[in-house]
Amino acid sequence: MAAMTPTPAPATPDATPDTASGTTAPAAAAPAGPSVKARAPRRRPRPRVWRAAVFLLAGAYFLVPLVASFVFTVHVPGQGVSFEAYTQLLAADGFTESMLLSLGLAAATIALSLLLAVPALVAVRLGSPRLRPVVEVMCMLPLVVPPIALVTGITTVLRWGPEHLSRTPLYQTFLAVQDERFPVVLVLAYTVLALPFVYRSLDAGMRAVDVPTLVEAARSCGASWPYVVLRVLLPNLRASLAGAAFLTLALVLGEFTIASLLGFRPFAVWIVTISGAHARMSVAVSVLSLLITWLLLLVLSRAGTNPATVSSAPSTSPTSRKES
Amino acid sequence: MSPSTPTSHPEGTPAGGGTTNRRRRRGPRTWLAALPLLAFTGLCFGIPLGAIAFGAVTRTDPSTGTTQLTGEHLARSLQGPYLDSLIGSVQLSALTALIGGVLGVLIAQAVVTSRSQALRSAALTASGVLANFGGVPLAFAFIATVGISGVVTQLADLTGFGWNLYSFTGLTVVYLYFLIPLMVLVIAPALDGLRPQWREAAQNNGATGRQFWRHVGLPVLAPSLLGGFVLLFGTAFAAHATAAALVGGSVPLVTLKIADALSGNVLTGQENVALALGLDMILIAGLVMAVYLPLQRRSARWLR
């Protein structure tokens, strides 16, 4: 119960400065067990109280940083309200380039991971069930390797280029992969990081639609293979494809570790670079990036036929990688 | 994706032909469709991984160019400041996972037992977004809120209470911002799976609410709870961007130490220590996953 206090700490000063952390936190924590007991004899009053308290505290903790960040960006001490941080954004040095680079990387990563994962998963469902554990392990293994550890390995491998391979044709590949304008090496690394989430999302989707039956039905109606894949399989997997794409997009847009240590400057690295000189703008971009993520998730749950699959895709330990 | 799948089973499914015949024909070809994925992971994941393992246990003499096996880097990664950073990371991860787990369960229980469907879906969607809201943007949002010149800091005079965002405590508060929603996402299905019939059955047998939780609720939830804790631990342990943007080097964390060793202009030996630290991290994260995956499978048994 004592553990309750650290969390509300940043939230409470804004809402109810002095009393909140002292009085409401224990009230929220204590009834976790009793709420059940209270149900049989007098059901209404107590559960509602503790639930309301939990929601209130949680809402305060999660909303205060967002609201305060927004206030921080529009309120200049001594000058009043101004939206300069947002209006100057497009003109800011490097914003467009880094954003375009991040979006390009995201598109390439989504395409590559889906191109790799979809055929493999369909194949595993249709004809080679014995390969299934192999594919699963290969896709889930990147979860074990934190991005910061992966990047140590990548830098080591990249150093082999100039050290050992400078006289072989492979050296050109090493250089091309590290091109400043479009670093393919980031796409490869991000695809590795995204595979676990793509795999889970697609696997959940395929479990729901029974791929073999669909394929056999379509084939016995005379559909060609391209037709089966494009008009039968993919539309049925739409929700899980969208879920996989969303998770990958969120991962790539927020990725900082690998890009910064390899010396490239996509969006997340750019925010850090400008934070010294333009603190307000870096916070404004942070707020915007959260809003964009939110919007994407909403669009996604509309686009996906079954919202349940979409929400279950992030629920399988989704994210985690992004902030690494 | 379309081109490779079709070619892989051109005459896979039609019911003609004997089953044995068909299987023989189909087997190797579907195998081919999974080949790009396996080759890719082997190449882009296996080689860096091998480089980490190789670099962590070998030493190359710069003058002669010979490579020999050594345990020196691993030993150094478990000494002095490096050991401190490992311990700091484990402490921070364990603390945040514990607090985040407890609070996440409370919120999830409040969400699951609430009768309002709108609130429920809103809370779960928000959890999905907030659990994604890590890294650099999160750090800046907190700097703007409770940093030195943050909005809330100045309104409530937090510095007067000894508040400092750029510390272990500050980092804990920031990490909880994405760990709690993650716990809500992981544990909500498990709480949903606690069937009302079980409680009714316990009540019909004369059990009190406490007895129900003690003998039915907690044992059923235990694998999910422990699994959620382990997942939170692993997430906090691997987190780097948030800490890098927030505290720089003032809190000893292993991810920050690795980044320092990689990006700083340091001696060549330092790179191998970074690799050894990376290997340490992989071992710890591997341990975490080795606990998590079986637990998740076990909890799935009850939650169909």
* Structure confidence by residue, pLDDT tens digits, A90-133: 777 788 888 899 999 999 999 999 999 998 888 888 877 788 88
Task: For residues A35 and A112, state if they share a domain.
Answer: no
Task: For residues A29 and A177, state if they share a domain.
Answer: no
Note whether residue A161 is domain-resident. Answer: yes
Place of tokens 């994260």: B285
Query: Is the pLDDT at A221 greater than 80, yes or no?
Result: yes
Q: How many Å lie between the alpha carbon of A229 and the closest alpha carbon of chain B? A: 6
State phi, psi for A16 to the nearest 5 degrees: -135, 95
The 10 Å Cβ neighbour count of residue A138 is 21
Task: For residues A64 and A207, state if they share a domain.
Answer: no
Could you say which residues from 42 to 101 on chain B have a Cβ atom under 8 Å away from some Cβ of chain A?
42, 44-45, 47-52, 55, 98-99
Cβ neighbourhood burial of A222 (10 Å; 0-12, 13-18, 19+): exposed
- Weakest-pLDDT range from A76-80, A139-143, A227-231, B142-146: A76-80
CA A106 to CA A249: how far, in whole Å?
5
Note whether residue A323 is domain-resident. Answer: no
Most confident of A21-30, B63-72, B145-154, B232-241: B232-241
pLDDT at B102: 93
Task: For residues A68 and A207, state if they share a domain.
Answer: no
For A295, nearest residue in chain B (alpha carbons): B129
Tokens of residue B120, six digits? 């429920």
* Residues in chain A, overall count: 324
Work out the pLDDT band at A194, boundaries 50, 70, 90. Answer: very high
H helices present in B133-266, as ranges: 135-146, 151-156, 168-192, 196-204, 209-212, 218-238, 241-247, 254-263
Task: For residues A105 and A209, state if they share a domain.
Answer: yes
Note the maximum CA span of chain B: 82
Task: For residues A245 and A295, state if they share a domain.
Answer: yes
Note whether residue A283 is domain-resident. Answer: yes
The pTM of this model reads 0.77
CA A324 to CA A217: how far, in whole Å?
44
- Domain B80-302 belongs in CATH node 1.10.10.10: no
Task: For residues A58 and A165, state if they share a domain.
Answer: no
Which value, to the nearest 10 degrees, does the dihedral of the CA atoms of residues B275, B277, B278, B283 take?
Answer: 130
A255 with B135: Cβ contact below 8 A? yes
Q: Mean pLDDT across chain B, nearest whole number?
A: 79
Report whether B187 contacts B228 (CB < 8 A).
yes
Count of domains for chain A = 2
CA A124 to CA A246: how far, in whole Å?
24
Q: What is the β-pairing status of strands B67-69 and B58-60?
A: antiparallel
Residue type, B289: M
Q: Does A286 contact B at CB distance below 8 Å?
A: yes
pLDDT at B254: 87
The 10 Å Cβ neighbour count of residue B151 is 22
Domain coordinates in residue numbering, chain B:
4-70, 80-302
The 10 Å Cβ neighbour count of residue B236 is 29
From A54, A82, A110, the end of a domain falls on: A82
From A82, A111, A128, the end of a domain falls on: A82
Query: Is the pLDDT at B192 greater than 60, yes or no?
Result: yes
From A82, A112, A142, the end of a domain falls on: A82
Considering only CA atoms, which of A86, A61, A81 is closest in space to residue A71? A81
Q: Does A145 contact B at CB distance below 8 Å?
A: yes
CA B8 to chain centre: 35
Per DSSP (E only), the strands in chain B are 58-60, 67-69
A189: domain range? 95-315
CATH no. for residue A123?
1.10.3720.10
Give strand pairing partners of B67.
Answer: B60
B140 with A275: Cβ contact below 8 A? yes
Residue type, B293: L
Work out the pLDDT band at A8, boundaries 50, 70, 90. Answer: very low
Query: Is the pLDDT at B41 greater than 50, yes or no?
Result: yes
Task: For residues A139 and A56, state if they share a domain.
Answer: no
Task: Choose among A51, A65, A157: nearest Cβ to B110.
Answer: A51
C-alpha separations of A98 from A127, A131, A272 in Å = 43, 40, 12
B136 with A256: Cβ contact below 8 A? yes
Work out the pLDDT band at A35, boundaries 50, 70, 90. Answer: very low
Task: For residues A196 and A258, state if they share a domain.
Answer: yes
Give pLDDT tens digits for A48-65. 788 888 888 988 888 888
pLDDT at B93: 93
pLDDT at B1: 38
